[in-house]
Structure 1
Amino acid sequence: MNEKQPDSSAADILDVKGLICPLPVLKARKILSGLAPGALLTVEATDPASVIDFPHFCSETGHALVEQSETEGVYRFTIRRKAG
């Protein structure tokens, strides 16, 4: 009956592979709203439009796009939640 507690030191990773626009950004927005200011969220997506959507989302909302990469069709975005 021991429930495994989440490791608060682990990076928050949102897997939205297989979803298409606008779902990856909408799911990221929801997760980011629950994170502390300055916290990092890594999003893994397969939608080619995400390379346009996530930079635009960050510029519109004030979150920082810290890193962006692509490996074998998986796009990875690391976003730092804005202060406040």
Structure 2
Amino acid sequence: MEVWALEAYGAAHTLQEILTIKSDDVPGRSKAYESIIKGEPIRKLNVPESFNVLIRELKGLGLEVELLKDGRIIETQKPEPTQNKAAEND
């Protein structure tokens, strides 16, 4: 509901910050904090993890998902494989 209120108010930059950097973009959050401390402009944001989860869920349903920009396929960051610590100890 708060998102709708900000959207109606026209606060696009605030929404972008809340839904990306302050949400689930941990590397982006660290870089943004570093930029603020150094007095530099905040650089390009990363893809939020929730978007990566959505892509994985769609692929799990058998859908092929490709991100396009200007007709070209954009490569997303590959999630690092999780390690099974119990299997390593065996």
Shared fold, TM over 0.5: no
TM-score by length of 1: 0.28
Higher relative contact order (CA 8 A, sep 6+): 1
TM-score by length of 2: 0.27
